[in-house]
Structure 1
């Protein structure tokens, strides 16, 4: 049996070119991580699985496991950094074997950042860890006292990370010493779980908050350059949890869960346009297009006007933060990973490695690293869309 499994260690994935969910059907590759259900190569193969590693398989009687932390990659040591729901940080080599591991007491809300040989880990226990990427040894720790919820951002000698409690912390990358913090009081009603990962651009950090505001902060001292309310009045689901994005024209895009997408002047916060589509939880800018993912849909807009180009309905599913790989839009929708043609919005492949995918994959050229909800890390070789 072991020899049989090894012979299937590298298997081809792909699916027939077809639509998905909203009226058409897509060939779905739903597989057990160790035993593929189908060995037939579909007619339009767009990726293959190079290797996989079982990091945190579901425990007995565990219901609906879910991994939310996106993998990261260390180009110096050539391994993948994966944070899993069992509280472990693991470095996984190109052979799929764990090189080192580090344990924290609480599961993670977001993935790590690798920069200059250091892994910055946002702990669910409220601690920001700086680990040596080669060994996993602790270089320093900063205790924020609030559960950390975003991938750390490293810029100008600082590490920025936001908490579940609407605080943005800035600490020195060299030693973890506190530099500044900015906090807003959460609204009294219901909020969406999660936080806005800050965007740093030309000395300014742009970040959203659960009270419906987006704020531009000076990276030097954390003082507010401008702030803008996007969600109006009310007490429920005002969140601005999307990571702001900026395009080549210098326009800032951010979304209110309640009131839709806003295009703003980055320098002043003045509004350029706004959509009326709520439920957006992530944005991705690419050239002249802006892609939005969220509750029940994935959309593409013209960045200069906000005109809707296409919309892919997902039924009752929610789309999580997408990424680009080899000309395709890769969208986790919890039960699977969609490979979407960004020109048409047509889903070309729906891949479920078992228990689905929630965490955003990490893309490195034609290699894509995917952490499935059942705790398996996959390395994909992506070919892109053919035809």
Structure 2
């Protein structure tokens, strides 16, 4: 049996195009733990090291790791939040330095700044940890399962719960500054939550009743709210679970799962344009191009007009946020990590390190950290083209 050390510089095995559009699905190679290396047609990355963090439990079906790895720039460490309820810190060589126990699986990753890691727990607690030692500095008991990576806005930490509440907590002390809550709808909803977008003294965040709300960061007061749910009394899956994105032209973009994609004036909430495409779960803005990822689709729009540039059908469920790096879109699609050409939407390569990938990768310079659904953390060196 090959060991991790024996394959330390293992070249990431990849499958050529075939996971998007009308192409026939091809085998997806790439698990360095259980299979030998398969040379890809292009060397997009190499796997420097991996660490096994979580083993499947008895009768566990389709394990999922949803929390994006976090990076501690001050101490040059990567932090993982895994379904066994543990926070772990690793150095650049993959040595575990500390761990902190929460006890419940995580819906979202941590946020690290100035040596402090803010950890959103499904135990209903926001934990602030010393990123160097793992020691608890303070905690805020929200009483609701926290479902988004904390967003830092001045002296506040913003985090949303699975129960349609946005909490604003003071970074220095962990005291509650304010909260904003909406009543969930009567119909079925998506098991996700919108992370707020922040600019200046304003925040924009979506809710499961199909509403996008703009809030004043000073006191949580409502600046405006806009219903993005489709007309006609639709009550099923109207969630605005996409994290809103902002452009430099004063627009904010968000999507209702059933109501489609919207571009709105960030100051007034007036609709600029609307696409009826349904099932959108995450957004990425780059320049004037908006990339929308959905359960079975990947689209690109012009931000100013809403013109559809390209659209591809996925043969597997995607739903987590794509990442743009070295001229490629990296799309976690549960069964694999897709490498997509952002100019055309065509899949170029795919990598499955075992049980697929649900969490977005974390890119730090020329390195990328990937947490697979089978509980492995991989450190990859990116060798692809830039641009």
Q: Check whether TM > 0.5.
A: yes
Give the TM-score taking structure 2 as reference length: 0.96
Q: Do the aligned residues in 1 keep the contact of 2:72 with 2:115 (CA within 8 Å)?
A: yes
In 1, are the aligned partners of 2:291 and 2:298 still within 8 Å (CA)?
yes
Match of 2:154 among 148, 153, 156: 156
Q: 1:16 to 1:121 in 2, by over 3 A?
A: closer
Using the alignment, how far apart are the partners of 2:168 and 2:189 within structure 1?
24
| Aligned equivalent of 2:112 | 114
Q: C-alpha separation between the residues in 2 aligned to 1:133 and 1:27?
A: 42
Q: Structure 2 CA distance, aligned partners of 1:10 and 1:59?
A: 30
Aligned partners of 2:12 and 2:37 also within 8 Å: no
What residue number does 1:312 align with? 312
Q: Please give the per-residue CA displacement for 1:283-315, whole angstroms capped at 9, x wherever unaligned.
A: 000011000001101111111111111112113
How do 1:171-250 and structure 2 match up within 5 A?
171-231=169-229, 232=231, 233-250=233-250
Indicate the residue corresponding to 1:10 in structure 2.
Answer: 9
TM-superposition CA deviations, 1:216-249 (whole Å, max 9, x none): 0000100000000110432211100000001121
Structure 1 position 47, deviation (Å): 1.1
Following superposition, the deviation at residue 59 of structure 1 comes to 2.9
- Residue 119 of structure 1 deviates from its aligned partner by 0.4
Asked whether the 8 Å contact 1:14–1:47 carries over to 2, the reply is no
What is the rounded CA distance, in whole Å, between the counterparts of 2:386 and 2:262 in structure 1? 34
Q: Is the 8 A contact 1:15 1:45 kept in 2?
A: no
| 8 Å contact from structure 2 (residues 12, 32) kept in 1 | no
* C-alpha displacement of 1:184: 0.4
Question: Any unmatched runs of 5+ in structure 2?
Answer: none
2:133 corresponds to = 135
Q: Distance in 2 between matches of 1:198 and 1:110?
A: 13
Report the secondary structure of 2:50's partner residue.
strand
Matched residue, 1:344: 344
The residue that corresponds to 2:335 in the other structure is 335
Q: Matches of 1:30 and 1:176 in 2, distance apart?
A: 45
Contact 2:13/2:37 (<8 A) preserved: no
How far has the Cα of 1:145 moved from its partner?
0.4
* Alpha-carbon separation, structure 1, partners of 2:61 and 2:350: 23
**Corresponding residue for 2:48?**
50
- 167-176 vs 19-28, greater mean Cα deviation: 19-28
What secondary structure sits across from 1:13 in the alignment? coil
Tell me, which stretches of 5 or more residues in structure 1 are unaligned? none
Question: For residues 376 and 4 of structure 2, what CA distance do their matches in structure 1 show?
Answer: 15
Paired residue secondary structure (2:317): strand
* Closer, same or farther: CA 386–159 of 1 in aligned 2, 3 Å: closer
CA gap of 1:26–1:327, structure 2 versus 1, over 3 A, is: farther
Name the counterpart of 1:23. 22
CA 1:110/1:16 → structure 2, altered by over 3 Å: closer, same or farther?
A: closer
Bigger drift between 226-235 and 282-291 goes to 226-235
**Inter-partner Cα distance in structure 2 for 1:172 and 1:324:** 32
Distance 1:184 1:211, change over 3 A: same
- Tell me if the contact between 2:316 and 2:335 (Cα under 8 Å) persists in the aligned partners: no
Matches of residues 25-44 of structure 1 in structure 2 within 5 Å? 25=24, 28-35=27-34, 37-44=35-42
Is contact 2:265-2:271 (8 Å) kept?
A: yes
Alignment correspondent of 2:63: 65
Give the match for residue 252 of structure 2.
Answer: 252
- Aligned position for 1:380: 380
Q: Secondary structure at the match of 2:11?
A: strand
Per the alignment, do residues 371 and 138 of structure 1 end up closer, same or farther by CA in structure 2, a change over 3 Å counting? same
- What corresponds to 1:284 in structure 2? 284
Cα deviations by residue, 1:13-33 (Å, 9 ceiling, x for unpaired): 254653434222476543444
